[in-house]
C-alpha cells in the first residue's frame, strides 16, 4: 500500500454546495401566506377589522416581501460563488429595467410586460367619414344596444352557429388598437360604440362595424387610475334611437348624438349628486327606459339611484341611501311587477321605474364589490351571485296581503362565486365562472353538478344553448354546457393579454376587445 509523503500537501477541500433550503422555506411560506390571505377566514377578518385593507393589497405585499427575501437569500445565504451572486443581483435589476408591472389578474396575481412593448394608448388610424358604410358585406344587422345585449342579460337566441371550429375556424375581419379600459361595445346598425382612455382624456368612440375605422370620438378630461385594476372607463355605452349614453369611470355621464358624436348634455355624479368615487371607479352601465336614464350613482341624501330625463338630463327622480357598488341596473318583471333591480352597498334593492319608490330591499353581500347581474329563474325567482367568498343565493319574491313584495331565501351556496362575469340559467341549471372556473348548479337545491375548466375572469354570452366565452387569457371559447359537463367545442386565440371586457354578438359577428385591442370575428354558421 502506497504511503503519503510527509511533506505532501493535503487535498483541497471541496467548496460547499448551494444552500437551497432557505429558498424552499421562503417559497413555501409565501405560498401558505397567499393561501391564507385569500381564505374565507382572512376575508371575514378584513371585513370586521380592516374594511379598507383589500385582499389585492395584501397579496401584493406578500409577493413583494417574498421577492426581497429571495434576493437576500441569494446574496447572503446561498453559498454560491460571488460571481454568481452578483450575476443574480444584476439579473434581478435587469428584469426590473426591462419589464413593468401592468396590474393584477382576476385571481390577484401580478402581471408584467416588456417595457418597450405595445402601449396602452391607441395609435392614430384612418378616420372614416360620418355615415360611412361598414363594408365586408354587412347588411340588415340586428342591434346589440347595451351592456349584455338587447335584454341586458347576456342571453341571445340561437344564431345557427357551427360548432366544429377545427374544420371551420372563426375569421378575423379586422383588428385595431384601442385605448385602455374595460368597457364593452354597443352596436347600432353599422356602428360600434365603446369607451377608452387615451392619455389624460376619456373617450366615447364610434367605429364602423365592418372595417374598424373611427367615425367619430368625443374626448373630455378625466383619468381614472388604478395600478391593480387598470386605468380607464369600465361601463358599456347604451344606444337608444339616435342617442348614446356613456358613463365614465370618474362619474361623468354624457349624452351624445349617434350620427355625429355631438354632446347634447352631461352630468357629474360626484358634483351633482354627492356621490363618492368608488375604489375601482364607476362601473354601472346606463339603463334607459321610458325616456329616462337610470344610473347607479351612489349619491348621498336619497340619491343612490338616479333617473334623468333622456332628452335633457334633468332629474326625474332619485331614491335610495345604500351607496354605490359596481353593478348595472336591470329592468325585470318579477311576481308580475315591473321593477329595477340592482346591487347597492351590501344590499339588493328594487325600485319602481316610474317613480323610484322602493319596492323591496334585501341586505346581502359584504364590503367587497357586488357586480354580476341578477339571473331570472322563473316568474318569481331570481338568482344572485358575487365573488370574494359571498357565493350565490336564490330568492323567491312573495306577494303579501297588502301587495308588498317580500324576498324569501330558497337556498344559498358558496359553490358559485361570480366575481364580475355574469351567470346564466338554462333548462333548470345555473352556469357561471366560480372564481374563474366554470361551474354548474342545480337550481332546485343549489347543489353543484360539476366545476371544471379554468377560463379566468372572462365574460360570455349564451347563444341558444351555446356559451361564447372571451376567457381572461384572450381566447374565444365555444361550449355547450349541460348538467353532465362543460363540453368545450372550440377555442380560438384572439388576444395575448388580459381580457375582461364583455363581448358583443350581432348575427355571426363577434365583437371583442380588451384594454389594448379590438377585433371583429365572423363565426362560422351551420
Per-residue pLDDT of 412-457, as tens digits, reads 999 999 998 999 999 999 999 999 999 999 999 999 999 999 999 9
Q: Of 50-54, 146-150, 227-231, which range is least confident?
A: 50-54
Cα–Cα distances in angstroms (integers) from residue 208 to residues 192, 363, 524, in the given order: 6, 44, 21
Residue 332 has pLDDT above 90, yes or no: yes
Burial 28-56 (b: 16+ CB within 10 A, else e): eebeebbeebbeeebbeebeeeeeeebbb
Handedness of CA 31, 33, 34, 35 (dihedral sign): positive
Residue 8 has pLDDT above 80, yes or no: no
Q: What integer is the mean pLDDT of 78-93? A: 79
What pLDDT score does 521 carry? 96
DSSP tally for the chain: helices H, then strands E: 5, 35
What pLDDT score does 106 carry? 58
pLDDT band per the 50, 70, 90 thresholds, residue 110: low
What pLDDT score does 192 carry? 97
Please count the other Cβ atoms lying within 10 Å of the Cβ belonging to residue 262: 11
What pLDDT score does 490 carry? 96
Can you tell me the distance from the alpha carbon of 526 to that of 165, in angstroms, rounded to the nearest whole number?
11
Can you tell me the distance from the alpha carbon of 451 to that of 434, in angstroms, rounded to the nearest whole number?
8
pTM for the structure as a whole: 0.81
Non-local CB neighbours of 474 within 8 Å, separated by 6+ positions: 493, 494, 495, 496, 497, 498, 499, 514
What pLDDT score does 107 carry? 60
What pLDDT score does 139 carry? 42
What pLDDT score does 47 carry? 53
Q: What are the structural domains of the chain?
A: 21-114 (no CATH), 155-522 (2.130.10.10)
Q: Of 43-47, 352-356, 459-463, 482-486, which range is least confident?
A: 43-47
pLDDT band per the 50, 70, 90 thresholds, residue 117: low
Q: What integer is the mean pLDDT of 226-250? A: 94
- DSSP run (H or E) holding 36: helix 21-37
pLDDT band per the 50, 70, 90 thresholds, residue 115: low
Mean pLDDT of the chain: 87
The three cell numbers of residue 499 are 381580457
The count of residues in the chain is 526
Residue that has been written with the C-alpha cell 347634447 in this structure: 264
DSSP 8-state class, residue 242: T
What pLDDT score does 13 carry? 57
Per-residue pLDDT of 274-308, as tens digits, reads 998 988 899 999 999 999 999 999 988 899 999 99
Residue 25 has pLDDT above 80, yes or no: yes
The four Cα atoms 139, 257, 236, 298 give a dihedral, to 10 degrees, of -160
Select from 485, 486, 441 the least CA-distant residue to 460: 486
pLDDT band per the 50, 70, 90 thresholds, residue 201: very high
Amino acid at each position: 500500500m502506497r504511503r503519503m509523503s510527509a511533506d505532501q500537501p493535503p487535498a483541497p477541500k471541496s467548496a460547499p454546495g448551494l444552500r437551497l433550503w432557505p429558498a424552499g422555506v421562503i417559497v413555501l411560506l409565501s405560498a401558505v401566506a397567499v393561501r391564507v390571505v385569500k381564505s374565507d377566514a382572512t376575508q371575514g377578518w378584513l371585513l370586521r377589522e380592516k374594511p379598507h385593507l383589500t385582499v389585492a393589497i395584501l397579496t401584493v405585499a406578500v409577493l413583494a416581501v417574498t421577492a426581497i427575501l429571495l434576493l437576500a437569500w441569494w446574496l447572503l445565504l446561498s453559498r454560491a460563488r460571488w460571481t454568481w451572486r452578483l450575476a443574480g443581483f444584476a439579473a434581478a435589476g435587469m428584469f426590473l429595467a426591462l419589464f413593468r408591472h401592468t396590474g393584477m389578474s382576476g385571481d390577484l396575481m401580478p402581471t408584467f410586460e416588456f417595457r418597450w412593448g405595445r402601449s396602452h394608448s391607441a395609435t392614430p388610424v384612418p378616420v372614416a367619414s360620418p355615415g360611412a358604410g361598414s363594408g365586408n358585406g354587412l347588411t340588415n344587422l340586428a342591434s346589440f344596444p347595451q351592456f349584455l345585449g338587447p335584454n341586458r342579460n347576456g342571453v341571445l337566441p340561437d344564431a345557427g352557429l357551427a360548432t366544429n371550429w377545427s374544420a371551420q375556424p372563426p375569421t378575423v375581419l379586422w383588428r385595431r388598437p384601442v385605448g385602455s379600459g374595460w368597457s364593452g361595445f354597443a352596436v347600432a346598425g353599422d356602428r360600434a360604440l365603446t369607451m377608452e382612455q387615451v392619455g389624460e382624456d376619456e373617450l366615447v368612440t364610434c367605429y364602423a362595424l365592418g372595417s374598424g375605422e373611427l367615425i367619430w370620438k368625443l374626448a373630455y378630461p378625466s383619468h381614472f387610475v388604478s395600478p391593480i385594476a387598470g386605468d380607464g372607463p369600465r361601463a358599456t355605452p347604451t344606444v337608444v334611437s339616435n342617442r348614446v349614453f356613456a358613463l365614465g369611470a370618474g362619474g361623468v355621464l354624457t349624452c351624445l348624438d349617434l350620427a355625429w358624436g355631438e354632446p347634447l348634455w352631461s352630468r357629474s355624479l360626484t358634483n351633482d349628486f354627492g356621490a363618492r368615487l368608488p375604489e375601482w371607479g364607476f362601473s354601472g352601465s346606463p339603463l334607459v327606459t321610458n325616456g329616462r336614464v337610470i344610473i347607479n350613482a351612489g349619491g348621498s341624501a336619497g340619491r343612490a339611484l338616479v333617473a334623468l330625463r333622456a332628452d335633457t338630463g334633468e332629474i326625474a327622480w332619485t331614491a335610495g341611501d345604500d351607496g354605490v357598488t359596481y353593478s348595472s341596473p336591470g329592468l325585470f318583471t318579477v311576481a308580475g311587477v315591473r321593477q329595477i333591480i340592482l346591487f347597492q352597498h351590501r344590499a339588493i334593492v328594487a325600485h319602481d321605474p316610474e317613480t323610484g319608490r322602493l319596492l323591496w330591499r334585501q341586505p346581502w353581500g359584504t364590503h367587497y364589490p357586488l357586480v354580476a347581474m341578477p339571473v331570472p329563474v322563473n316568474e318569481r325567482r331570481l338568482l344572485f351571485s358575487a365573488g370574494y367568498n359571498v357565493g350565490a343565493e336564490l330568492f323567491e319574491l312573495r306577494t303579501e296581503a297588502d301587495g308588498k313584495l317580500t324576498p324569501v331565501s330558497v337556498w344559498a351556496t358558496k359553490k358559485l362565486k361570480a366575481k364580475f362575469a355574469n351567470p346564466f340559467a338554462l333548462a333548470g341549471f345555473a352556469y357561471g365562472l366560480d372564481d374563474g372556473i366554470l361551474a354548474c348548479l342545480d337550481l332546485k337545491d343549489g347543489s353543484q353538478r360539476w366545476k371544471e375548466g379554468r377560463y379566468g375572469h372572462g365574460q360570455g354570452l349564451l347563444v341558444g344553448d351555446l356559451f361564447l366565452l372571451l376567457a381572461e387569457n384572450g381566447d374565444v371559447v365555444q361550449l355547450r354546457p349541460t348538467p353532465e359537463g362543460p363540453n368545450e367545442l372550440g377555442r380560438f386565440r384572439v388576444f395575448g393579454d388580459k381580457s375582461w371586457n364583455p363581448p358583443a354578438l350581432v348575427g355571426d359577428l363577434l365583437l371583442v376587445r380588451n384594454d389594448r385591442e379590438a377585433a371583429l370575428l365572423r363565426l362560422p354558421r351551420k
